[in-house]
Structure 1
Amino acid sequence: MIILKNKKWRYAYVLIGILLFLCAACAWGKAGVENPLPPVSQNDQQDDDPPAEIPSSNEDPENNNKGDQEDPISDETVPVINKIEPEKTQTVDTKPFWQSEAARITNNLISIAAAAQKDYKENGAKRGWMSKDGLLYNYYEGKYITTDTLVADGYLEKGLNPSDYKILLLNGSDLEEMDGATVPAASADFGVFAAIKQSNKYLIASTSGKIGTISEESFNSLLAKNNQNNGKIVRLSSASVEYERILNYISLFEGRFDEYYVREIRMDNKHAVVVFSNKANTANIKEYILENENNFWEVVYPNAQMEYYPITTINRYIPTLNVELLPTYTLASWRGGIYREQGGVEAALFSAKAISSSSEIAYQCATAACAYAVLTNGSRYACYSEGGIWKAKFVASDYEARKFLKEKTGIDYGFLILDD
């Protein structure tokens, strides 16, 4: 050991030692910053410090944002949530910040059209839904279909003002003719559209998307094209000239001239509905719909007697037809239940002393419960089964016969009764 006897040198060496110590300490601190300790593994954590919980994507997003620091989220990490339920079409009643007002309204129109189309397809026929002057209409309830109807049926989420929107049922090809409208091929046929008025124009969409914007004048013209007010409805007399003309056009359509037993012909200025059979088989009842074009009649819907839901089905193909022309009975529901002869009728006529021979019956058409007969002398009888016994009542006209059977049974048997 070196002993420093000189105090000056002793103080110098002490100062140098202090400086060396400070330099070493600085170097050590720098190394600690550049090389941090490795993270503590889960096995090294203490039992009283549980791991941080990461909320799953299914939890309430409001509870997931309670931290002090918000991390930016990229577009790629934002989950897309489909809010359309299997049986309902959800509208957008509040717009997200990224969506324009025009887009929100268009989406609402598409949702309404999709919901109405589905409801019409699944339930419309049984409820008598049809196009009335271009708008979706419930014939049996006598009211137009609104968004409230679709909500009540479970096809649309609530939240829309029904007075803001119009639900159309018409041919897309008619809409295509309007300036400002572009109808995709998927919507070109008869179907549902939704519209909303904006200033003096109408924004229209279908289930396929936005159709376009047309003027109010064009919109009214579109509805007028589907107008069903075609003049006064009348029942033609068998003595009228038009009566025979219509039957001749039916003969031309069927390709043979035949004699017919007509039940009724009802017509307005545009259409005629004829219920008839040939004389060879009174039970083979047909229902034809004709259209008048430039004073020429053309069969546009033959065999309407096959339709179980004539209001909706026929309206789909002839939307301009006033459905009040159609008979109140549905012939399809009587299929297989109409007979050209009924043994009970002959017995009833004998009992009433109306005939002495079956050859005196010129016309007969019946069901299992009611019938109508016309004798060779022109007498008419409404017949019915009561307690298993057939009875015959003399009537003065076809009108009286129809009224009598309706009052007796509550059923319209007009398809049995020969037109006078």
Structure 2
Amino acid sequence: MIKNDQPIQIFDMPDEWTYRGEGNCNIVISVPKQKKILRIRKVEKPKSILRWLLVLISNFIHWYYGKGFKDETRDLDFYLNIMRPLVGYKYTSDAKQVLLSRKHIHIFKEELSHIRPEFRQNKTLQYGRAALFDDFAFLPSKFDCYESSDNTYSIEIKPKQGWRPIKEQFLPQCFFCMNQFLKMERGQIKSLTKYCPEELFCGNPTRMKSTLKHLFEVPQNNFKIFKNGLVSYDEKHKNKHILNEIFESNDAEEVLIDELCNFLQSCLTTDFNKNGMVVESDTYHFSKNENHICPYLEVHNLPIGSALDKILSIQMLDKEGSHSTYKKLSKHDDWNNWSFVNKIVDVMKNSKGCVKCKLIEASQIYGDELMFIPYLISAIAKDCSLMVTFRKLVGDFSESSGHNHIFRTNYGYYLVNIGIFDLYPKPLYTIQKHYKRNKDIFKAFKKEK
């Protein structure tokens, strides 16, 4: 059990920081000199003068009594003791809670107001809730011993839901693909994408590369390329010349896109815990966990230990789907949205062995909110992000190098690291939200079809 009981440090405001992006719940700030990410929680903006007044009073009370700190401590404990072991320490970052002063919050609010997307500005920064993580847009310092180019590139992917529970397999398409029509109806996207997460997680190299190409062509909010921590390619900035820079080549655009997809498919299907260098861009291998055979291990076609395997195996904890899970939850509308987090962390405190086994057993033994643990943890994996970060190496590397972070391409060797993030707990009402959203998705899809 990892205890998050160290004194909370006051955040040292850096001279340089950049807005990395945000999701529905958090804003992410990059501190490049420290190779760190500052994650700040968001809250809804009040919509009336009375609500503004209540928020001001509430913020003062929460600031004084530390509610925000306690909430962040709770979520950090969940991340460190459940999600990190589940996903794997090789793919995740350590984290520590930090204190943001009112001055910090004011500075961030003022400067971010000119940068943040308009549709995200319905929420503002929450007092007292911040944590520092490693910035996966940069390679770990342990790789500094390698002679490489000056530029570090990283590709962020939000893979989304890669499989369907049995009770949802009757649907004509996956929820991601059907959701495209709802997003178009609501004006959230300008064009449909052919990317399908089920194709990315299918395990077939050809199909995986094809859907990665679709993701590159229509990134939406699910694909970004960074150069030295700054966005160089996304939905707004389709700078395809970034591929010329990555591969240091003037070859045709289609050739470089194919090479990028080959490279990504290889990285995402490699077990970074294994020894040995990856020498082919389409390498596809399997490995076994010799220390433990989990009785809840699901069958799929991805290499065990790869980044995609880690994400998919957690997604597959959900056996029921949103409709059946919501029907169970609707019988218990008096349960607190967050109490399950402390409960499951307490259950895991003295547990040893397979984290997945203990979580599933806890959901079956206890007749309270913990019965929804498999769905809620699966939901985290369906909404997480990963980042493939790399630098081109100088010189040649033989197969005897014995380093599984070195990948060979048609344009040379690359030093690669993968990080998986956005792994904080989701509240119990997520189940209701998913149920309603999925109903809207299906309605919009039927209109189009």
Instruction: Give the TM-score band, short-chain normalised.
Output: under 0.3
Q: Which structure has the bigger radius of gyration?
A: 1
State TM-score, norm by structure 2. Answer: 0.20
> Quick check: which one's strand share is greater?
1
Q: Give the structure with the larger helix fraction.
A: 2
